[in-house]
Amino acid sequence: MHHSIHFATQRAQELVDITERVRSLAEQSGVNDGLINVYAQGATAAIMIQENWDESVPLDVVSLLGKLIPPGIWLHDRQDGNGDAHLKAGLVGPSETIPIIDGKLGLSTWQGIFFCEFDGPRSNRTVVCTVLPAG
């Protein structure tokens, strides 16, 4: 089973908490034990599991990546000015796989699933969630 989540992003670079949308899909799937893969479509987006209790953590992630990979100095910037977005997306990665245990996401108390926007804002971003039952 797979399902796509569609949404807009609001900032040039931000982390969007999609945990509850993914949790709902996992529960609706009827799978008791298995895996859910969460995949960001787009070469300038990524998926990250990170603390979702304190809003400073996603802001710190964006700040750190901005310091590690600053804009405006990459060869790809000659094409369309978003070389840093591609590098950040590649570093973080396009997907995460989370266990489904007893019909629930196997995240810890403080973990959340974030869509990482590195080239926004965008009017339509897509995350594909694929549920795989165990065995």
112-126 tens-digit pLDDT: 999 999 999 999 999
Identify the pLDDT of residue 92. Answer: 98
* 49 token code pair: 């599991």
Q: What is the mean pLDDT of the chain?
A: 97
Identify the pLDDT of residue 117. Answer: 98
β-sheet bridge partners, residue 45: 117
pLDDT in tens, the chain (135 residues): 999 999 999 999 999 999 999 999 999 999 999 999 999 999 999 999 999 999 999 999 999 999 999 999 999 999 999 999 999 999 999 999 999 999 999 999 999 999 999 999 999 999 999 999 998
- 87: nearest Cα among 113, 115, 57, 67: 67
What's this model's pTM, rounded to 2 decimal places? 0.96
β-sheet bridge partners, residue 2: 130
- Are the C-beta atoms of residues 111 and 52 closer than 8 Å to each other? yes
Domains and CATH numbers, the chain: 2-133 (2.60.120.460)
Residue with tokens 């750190």, as numbered in its chain: 64
Identify the pLDDT of residue 41. Answer: 98
Residue 22's region, left for phi above 0, alpha for psi from -120 to 50, else beta, is: alpha
